[in-house]
């Protein structure tokens, strides 16, 4: 909360009157949530599966996005959760024209519990606006649910998830797709593309056309906004219009 608004302004919020009661009741509510949590555990695939689009590694059936988000908090399939603040699932409407899948939460997303709220998300907002796409109509999520990082002094620096970590999280992503029911999917970056289309795929080879993804939905592949942020200025200027065109093309193709 302090990241978004200094504490001195909290008293002006209409919901501020509820904070004291919520804090006082938090221990009881937390204990109840832990007792009732689905306790879903994901395990990494150990070989070919009969149906790679079916989530059979989740012990309990997850019927809603809220249940899925709660179950993610208990995931022990890989060690990333031990060092993250929380698991971050997606946000947006059900049955959207597009679901955008990124790599993993960043530092800001890890703290906020929401996808694409940091610098990469702000750049994505600019690109969506230029492409004529309303972010509120999209569902945004990530292939990996926890922030993988290394400490550099007090800073937490991003580290690319390993393939085994991507595969450990894949059942969460597949179940999320089943619940959200998007018309099409945009894979932002190579990690998302591999989670959706299989290991070994190359971003450069997949751009420009749809590929059959989970449930037969078309998957469009383009750059992750964080990749553009890391590019030198001249290369970013060259890549920027191509990235916007990729987003617009996927949006137009998914339009009813």
Strand order in the sheet with 218-222: 139-142, 98-102, 184-188, 218-222, 211-212
pLDDT for the residue numbered 255: 86
**Dist. CA 190–CA 164, nearest whole Å:** 15
Per-residue confidence (pLDDT) for residue 158, from 0 to 100: 85
Give the burial class of 134: count Cβ atoms within 10 A of its Cβ; 0-12 exposed, 13-18 middle, 19 or more buried: exposed
* 175 contacts 132 by C-beta, under 8 angstroms: no
The residue assigned the tokens 């002094």 is: 153
Looking at residue 109, its pLDDT comes to 96
| Number of helices and strands in the chain (H, E) | 9, 7
State in words which class domain 20-254 has. Answer: alpha beta
Distance CA 150, CA 129 (A): 33
Exposure string for 70-98, b = 16+ CB within 10 A, e = fewer: bbbbebebbebbeebbbbbbbbbeeebbb
The pLDDT score that the predictor gives to residue 45 is 35
Rounded CA-CA distance 248/207 in Å is 13
User: Given this model, what pLDDT does residue 124 score?
Assistant: 98
Residues 6+ apart with CB under 8 A from 113: 85, 86, 88
pLDDT tens digits, 93-128: 999 999 999 999 999 999 999 999 999 999 999 999
Cα separation, 9 vs 2, in Å, equals 10
Per-residue pLDDT of 145-160, as tens digits, reads 999 999 888 899 989 9
Would you call 160 helix, strand, or coil by DSSP?
coil
> Please, which contacts does 197-202 make with residues 24 or more away whose CB atoms are closer than 8 Å?
197/221, 199/163, 199/167
Domain boundaries, the chain: 20-254
Centre a 10 Å sphere on the Cβ of residue 174 and count the other Cβ atoms it contains: 21
Phi and psi at 234, nearest 5°, equal -70, -40
Question: Helices in 89-136 by DSSP H: which ranges?
Answer: 107-112, 119-130
Kindly give the parts of the chain with pLDDT less than 70: 1-60
Three-state secondary structure call for residue 255: coil
Q: What is the pTM of this model?
A: 0.76
């Amino acid at each position: 909360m302090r990241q978004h608004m200094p504490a001195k302004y909290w008293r002006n919020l209409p919901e501020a009157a509820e904070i004291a009661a919520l804090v006082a009741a938090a221990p009881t509510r937390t204990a109840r949530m832990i007792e009732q949590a689905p306790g879903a555990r994901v395990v990494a695939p150990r070989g070919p599966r009969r149906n790679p689009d079916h989530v059979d590694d989740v012990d309990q059936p997850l019927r809603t996005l809220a249940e899925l988000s709660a179950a993610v908090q208990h995931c022990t399939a890989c060690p990333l959760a031990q060092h993250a603040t929380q698991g971050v699932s997606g946000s947006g409407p059900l049955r959207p024209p597009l679901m955008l899948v990124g790599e993993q939460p960043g530092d800001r997303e890890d703290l906020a519990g929401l996808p694409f709220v940091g610098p990469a998300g702000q750049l994505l907002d600019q690109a969506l606006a230029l492409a004529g796409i309303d972010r509120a109509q999209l569902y945004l999520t990530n292939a990996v649910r926890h922030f993988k990082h290394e400490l550099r002094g007090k800073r937490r620096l991003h580290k690319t998830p390993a393939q085994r970590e991507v595969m450990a999280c894949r059942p969460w992503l597949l179940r999320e797709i089943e619940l959200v029911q998007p018309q099409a999917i945009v894979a932002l970056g190579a990690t998302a593309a591999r989670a959706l289309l299989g290991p070994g795929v190359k971003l450069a080879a997949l751009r420009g056309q749809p590929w059959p993804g989970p449930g037969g939905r078309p998957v469009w592949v383009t750059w992750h906004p964080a990749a553009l942020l890391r590019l030198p200025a001249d290369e970013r200027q060259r890549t920027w219009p191509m990235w916007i065109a990729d987003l617009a093309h996927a949006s137009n193709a998914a339009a009813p």
